Amino acid sequence: MFIVTNREVDETKTTVKDAFKPYANARGPNELRLAEAVRDGSQWRIRILPDEITDEMAAEVGLTHEIDPDTGDRKPLYASAYVARRIVERVNPRMLGGKEKPKGKAKSKGRNLVFFVHGFNNNVEAVLDRAEQLEQLYGVEVLPFTWPANGGGVKGVVSYLSDKRDALASTGAFDRCLGKLEDILNRIHEEHVQRVEALANARYANKDKPGLIDAEQWDNFFTRESQKWCPFSVSMMLHSMGNYLFKQLLKSTVYRGNRLLFDNVVMVAADANNENHAEWVDRIQCRGRIFITINERDSALLASRMKVGEQQLARLGHYPYKLDSRQAVYVDFTNQPHVGSEHAYFEGDPVKNPQVKQFFDEALNGEFAESGLKFDIGRNMYRLS
């Protein structure tokens, strides 16, 4: 899988421990690098991608350099273009002429893409292991963003507060990462959009009045053909303190909130204040749903609330009150079989519960996962039955 990071990297190393450092990039916390991780038995092998790809890498994915009309020089090809081609091979090989059957829940929708942001005290190996679990459980392609959440090599409260500072420092990188994701998605769609536009123009041009088209039929045809050839959804899953990172970005001045990148946004076990959460949650843009999951018995969030500091109020991911966002869909997992006090109830024992498994399967594959759940109007949240 591919991975985006603002950690310091060592391009000469191929192991996780050596290739990724537990601190931010030496050029600043906003500096991003792309890497490819490949499972090798019980280990991960890492290739840090160069900012500008080589001719061999370009040929590998069928990319060619454009020529600058003013200078006659070749324009550089960046790692994001390489990653876009490699991802499209997996989410929708038909776009590149492949015949591989997609692995998602609904084969007609292709293999869906999930952008994953991890939480507190996670090293890169743990992030990759979890992303791999998500791929295997839910049939999706995962693109993780990893920030320096290693607690600075210390434990307990100091580690937690260290990661909160790293999250604050990483907001600019997260915004740039969303920009890079947008670039990747645009590259995936660019050639296809041009092809479908040409077909629509040819089919619905007004022969009597050159230059005019039947706009309504053109729109219907374009939408239908786009879904046929680009059928995958794109969702974002934030876990634990990853939601705090997103909150800080949404409240910051660097956030460019007009990006409509995601079908669903899934906020799992959010380690952020419940108080006034609607102020920033309602700034999130997506095509489908913003899911906020709650487990009142979540041991990690209960411990988080007991950390020192006046900001440690009730956490969004364990508090079933004041659920007042105008667009969020709150889903309660409390007291569900196999969930217990789990913090990561999208994997392991909790998914032995078929309703838990079904919810995350649908949410991460861009569907309306609250369908069929019981709604508690008094609390403004859905419950698994």
Count Cβ atoms within 10 A of the Cβ of residue 129 and give its class: 0-12 exposed, 13-18 middle, 19 or more buried.
middle
The SS3 call for residue 253 is coil
Distance of CA 102 to the CA centre of its chain: 19
Does 202 share its domain with 248?
A: no
Q: Once rounded to an integer, what is the mean pLDDT over residues 118-143?
A: 94
Task: Report H helices in 252-376.
Answer: 278-281, 299-305, 354-364
CB contact set of 70 (below 8 Å; sequence gap of 6+): none
Does 137 share its domain with 274?
A: yes
Does 162 share its domain with 212?
A: no
Band of the pLDDT at 275, cuts 50, 70, 90? Answer: very high
Does 61 share its domain with 166?
A: yes
Number of domains making up the chain: 2
Does 203 share its domain with 126?
A: no
Query: Which has more pLDDT, 85 or 155?
Result: 85
pLDDT digits (tens, 9 = 90+) for 19-41: 999 998 999 888 999 999 999 99
Q: Is the pLDDT of residue 105 over 70?
A: no
Q: Is the pLDDT of residue 289 over 80?
A: yes
Q: Provide the domain limits for residue 147.
A: 2-91+100-188+234-383
Band of the pLDDT at 100, cuts 50, 70, 90? Answer: very low
Distance CA 40, CA 283 (A): 41
- Give the E-state strand segments of 135-194 in sequence order: 141-146
Q: Is the pLDDT of residue 101 over 50?
A: no
Asked which of 229, 248, 278 is the last residue of a domain, the reply is: 229
Distance CA 302, CA 192 (A): 48
DSSP 8-75: EE-TT--BHHHHEEEEE-TT-TT--EEEEEEEETTEEEEEEPPSB--HHHHHHTT--PPBPTTT-PBP
The SS3 call for residue 337 is coil
- Predicted TM-score (pTM) of the model is 0.86
Q: Across the chain, what does the average pLDDT equal? A: 86
Q: Once rounded to an integer, what is the mean pLDDT over residues 252-257?
A: 69
Does 252 share its domain with 283?
A: yes
- What is the per-residue pLDDT for 113? 94
Q: Is the pLDDT of residue 224 over 70?
A: yes
- What is the per-residue pLDDT for 153? 46
CATH of the domain at 140: 3.40.50.1820
Asked if 343 and 269 touch (Cβ cutoff 8 Å), the reply is yes
